[in-house]
Chain A
Amino acid sequence: MNMLSEAAVEKALDKKMNEVAYKMIGKDVSVYYGEKRALFDVNLNVRENTVTALIGPSGCGKSTFLRTLNRMNDTIEGCRVTGKITLDEDDIYDKEIDVVELRARVGMVFQKPNPFPKSIYENIAYGPRIHGLARNKADMDQIVEASLQRAGLWAEVKDRLHEGGTGLSGGQQQRLCIARAVAVSPEVILMDEPCSALDPIATAKVEELIHELRANYTIVIVTHSMQQAARVSQRTAMFHLGQLVEENDTDKMFTNPDDQRTQDYIMGRFG
C-alpha cells in the first residue's frame, strides 16, 4: 500500500515537473533470435498522444523493438525478450497478461498492405467481431463507418463496402489496414514502415492520416525515410547495431543532434 502510493506520488510529481505522460515504458529491453542478440538493453519511453519515429540503418533493431511493444515477436520461432515493458503501469510480458488483450490495446500496421481476402466491410468488422465490440448489426455498421472515416477512406469506398479489399489500390489498402487497426479502438498504434510499398501521393495521404490520428492515439512508427520522420513525428529515436543511440525531440534531432552517429546518419554518411 505504502509503496504503491509512494510510486504514485512520485509519478505525479514527475508528471508535473516534466509535463510528460508516458504511455509505454521500455526498460533494459533485449531481444535474442536464438543465439543471436538483436537488441541491447534499450531504454525507450513512448509519450502519450505523440508520434514517435524510430529511425536507423537496416538491421539496426528498430522493427524488432517495435514488435516487442505488442509481443508480435512471440510468433517468431526462437525469439526471446528480456527486460521490462509497461503499458499504463501493466507489465506486458507478465504471465497474467493475455497477449490477445494486449494486441487489442496496441494495434499494428504492417510494411506491406495485408488486407484479408474478404470484403472491405468484413476486413474492418473482423477485429470488432472477435473482441465482441458490437451488440448488433447497426453497431457494427457504425464502427465500420467510423473507422473508415478516421482512416479517410470512407468517401472512396462507401459505395463498394462489400467488394473485395484486395481490389483496392496499394495506398487504399494500407489505409484500409489502418482503419482495421483503428476499428478495435486501440490505445497505441504501431506502424512498421507503413509507406515503403506506396507511391508518393498515397504516402502523403497516409502521413496526413497519421497526423490526424495523433489526437486520439499514441503512435510509434518505423521509417526509413528521414523526411517522413521529420514530417510526421514529434519525438525521434535513432537505433544503430541493436542499440538506442539517441532519443530526442524531432526538431532537435534533425538540426542539432547530441550524438555524432545520429548526425552522420541523418547527413547520409552511412546507412
Chain B
Amino acid sequence: MSTPLILLILAIIAVVCYVVGTRHALAIAGGLSSKLHSRPGYYGSFVAICAVLPAAIVLAAWLIASPLYINSTIRGGFPEDVKAKSEAEQGLAFGMVNSLARGMDILTLDEIDKVGANPAELRSALGAKGVALAGDPEPYMVESAGDLNAMNKISNRVMTAVVLIVALIGAGLSYTRISHRFRARNRVERVILGALVVASSIAIITTIGIVMSMLTEAGHFFGRVPAWEFFFGTVWDPRFAAAGAAASEGQFGLIPLLLGTLYIGFVAMLVAVPVGLFSAIYMSEYASPKLRSVAKPLLEVLAGIPTIVYGFFALTTVGPFLRDLSSSINGIATGDFANFIQAQSVLTAGFVMGIMLIPYVSSLSDDIITAVPRALRDGSLGLGATKSETIKKVVMPAALPGVVGALLMTASRAIGETMIVVLAAGVAARMQLNPFEPMTTVTVKIVSQLTGDLEFTSPQTLVAFALGITLFVITLCLNIYALFIVRKYREQYE
C-alpha cells in the first residue's frame, strides 16, 4: 500500500475514533456531559490521538529506517570486484540498480523475460518506458534490482500491517480507559502543548542547521586557504575554478569586499537616517491623526517593495542620471564633458539603498518616539516649553537609546542587502575611497561565486560560505546589540 493511502486510512481511523469515543463517553455519563471529568469531545480526541499518533510515529520511523537497511543489504550483495572500486563508483552502480528496479516495476513479467538476458535491449526497452539509464546494465545489476524490488515489496506489506495494527491497538486500549473520572482533557492538552513546542522549535533548529552547514563548508574552505589570508588579505582575485589546476587558486582577501559593504552601507545611512528621523518626528508629533492614519501605512507599504525593484530603479534611472549630471557639471566647469561619476558607483548604490531604508528608519523610530509617555510631554509643556523645545530637549533624549537601536537594526539590513548592490554597485573589488567609482560588497561576491556551473569542492565556490558566515556574524552582532539597547530602553517606562 502506498504511503498516502496509509495516511488516508489513518485519517479515517482518527475520525471514526473521535466519533466513537465521544459517543461512548456520553453513553457512560447517561447523556449528561456534566457527569464527565472533561467535555465529551476530549474523550473522542483522546481515542483518536492514541490511535493515530503512535501509528504515525511507527510509519515515519519505518519510512526512514527501511530504505537504509535495504540499501545497505543490496550494496553488500554486490560482487567483490565492484566493492573494491571507489565509493563514488559504487554509488554510481547503486544508482543504476535503483533506476533498473524502478524500470522493472513498470515492465510486465513477459517483457522482462524477453529482454532480461540482453543488457542493451533491456536499456532500450526501459528507455521506451521513460526510464533512462546511464549505461548498459551488467547482469549482477539486474539481479540486485530484482532483489531490491522484492525487499521493498515485503517491507511495504509488513509496514502497512504493523501501522494498522498499532493504530487499532491504540484505539482499543484508549477506548477501554474512558470512564467518568478519566482526565481526558489533561492528556489531550499535553499532546497539543507538545505540538506547539515542536512547531516553535522548527525555526530555531533550522537556523542552527543552516549555521552548522555554513560552518562546515567554511571549514572546508579554510582547509584550502589559510584563515588569516582570508580575513586580512587585501586582494580579491579568485580566478576561475579550472578543474584539476590546483596551482591557479587565486587570492581571497576579505578586506576590499568588507570595505565596499561598509562604505555603501554608510552612504545609505547618510541618506536614510536624516530623512527617516525627520519623517518619524513629523509623523509622531505634528501630523494630524487623519494624515497619520493614511501616511504611516503608505510608508510601511514602501518597506514591502521587493529590493530587486529598487535595484532596477538604480540601474536604469539613478545611475545614468548621476552619470549624465556629472558629465554636464564637468562640461560647464571645465569644458570637458567627461563624466566623473560612473553609472555603477558607491553613490548610486548607497543612495538607492538609502531610499529603501527610509521607511524602516521612519517606522521604527516613529514607534519609539510615540512610546515616550505623554506625561513627559505634558510636564515639559506645562512648564511653558514650546512644542519644538519639548521635542528637542525631552522627547528625543528620552527616545534616543531606542532610536539608536532602530538605526543599528537598519544598518544590519544595509549590510545584508543584496539585489541593489548587485545591480548598482559594480563587481570590481577595489580598495578606494572615491564614492563616484564602483566598488563591490560581500553579498555581490557571494552571488557571483555561486552563479553558473560549479563544483562544490573548489575554494572559488567554498569561499561563498566563508563570506556568508562572516556576514551572518556581523549582522547577528548588530541585531543582538540593537535588541539589547531597545529592551533596556523599554524597561525605563514599564
Contact = CB atoms under 8 A, between A and B. Distances in A.
Nearest to B288: A77
Contacts of B385: 100, 126-127, 130
Contact of B379 (A101, A116, A166): A116
Given A77-B289, A126-B393, A114 B383 contact: no
Task: Kindly name the residue among A75, A114, A118, A184 whose own CB sees the greatest number of chain B CB atoms within 10 A.
Answer: A114
Nearest to B394: A116
A152 B430 CA distance: 66
A10 B381 CA distance: 36
Nearest to A164: B492
B393 A110 contact: no
A108 interface: yes
A126 B383 contact: yes
B4 interface: no
A75 B375 contact: no
Contacts of A181: 382-383
Nearest to A104: B384
A62 B253 CA distance: 72
A117 B492 contact: yes
Nearest to A111: B375
A46 to B, nearest CB: 17
B379 A114 contact: yes
A114 B492 CA distance: 12
A37 B383 CA distance: 27
Q: Classify the secondary structure of A's interface with B.
A: helix
Given A117-B397, A117-B398, A127 B383 contact: yes
A118 B375 CA distance: 15
5 contacts: A72-B381, A101-B384, A102-B384, A116-B376, A126-B394
A114 B376 contact: yes
A130 B383 contact: yes
A70 B492 CA distance: 29
Contacts of A237: none
Given A110-B375, A177-B379, A103 B384 contact: yes
A15 interface: no
Task: Kindly name the residue among B373, B377, B385 whose own CB sees the greatest number of chain A CB atoms within 10 A.
Answer: B385
A166 B492 contact: yes
Interface in B378-419: 378-386, 389, 393-394, 397-398
Nearest to A127: B383
Interface string B274-311: 00000000000000110000000000000000000000
Interface residues of A, number: 27
A242 interface: no
Nearest to B372: A117
A178 B134 CA distance: 90
Q: Classify the secondary structure of B's interface with A.
A: helix
Closest 4 CB pairs of A and B: A108-B382, A104-B384, A114-B375, A103-B384
A241 B124 CA distance: 97
Contacts of B398: 116-117
Interface in A81-140: 100-104, 107-108, 110, 112, 114-118, 126-127, 130-131
Nearest to A105: B384
Contacts of B380: 116, 126
A116 B379 CA distance: 8
Interface residues of B, number: 21
A174 to B, nearest CB: 12
A70 B375 CA distance: 16
A71 B386 CA distance: 13
A152 B95 CA distance: 90
Nearest to B492: A117
A224 B308 CA distance: 61
Contacts of A235: none
Contacts of A112: 375
Given A103-B382, A110-B379, 5 more contacts: A75-B378, A112-B375, A127-B383, A130-B384, A130-B385
Interface in B235-289: 288-289
A180 interface: yes
B384 A184 contact: yes
A117 B380 CA distance: 12
Contacts of B376: 114, 116-117
A126 B384 CA distance: 10
Interface string B85-101: 00000000000000000
A127 B378 contact: no
A248 B80 CA distance: 114
Nearest to B376: A114
Given A117-B492, A118-B397, A131 B378 contact: no
A130 B375 contact: no
Contacts of A102: 384
A101 B385 CA distance: 9
Nearest to A103: B384
Contact of B389 (A72, A108, A130): A130
A112 B382 CA distance: 14
A118 B492 CA distance: 12
Contacts of B289: 77
B454 to A, nearest CB: 55
B393 A114 contact: no
Contact of B378 (A77, A110, A117, A126): A110
Interface in B465-494: 492
A46 B492 CA distance: 38
A108 B378 CA distance: 9
Contacts of B373: 114
Contacts of A108: 378, 382-383
Nearest to B383: A127
Contacts of A130: 383-386, 389, 393
Contacts of B389: 130
A181 B382 CA distance: 8
B398 to A, nearest CB: 5
Nearest to B289: A77
Nearest to A102: B384
A115 B393 CA distance: 13
Contact of A103 (B288, B377, B383): B383
A117 B396 CA distance: 11
Contact of A104 (B377, B383, B393, B492): B383
A114 B395 CA distance: 13
B397 A184 contact: no
A171 B386 CA distance: 28
A145 to B, nearest CB: 18
A264 B472 CA distance: 70
Contacts of A126: 380, 383, 385, 393-394
A131 B379 CA distance: 15
B292 to A, nearest CB: 11
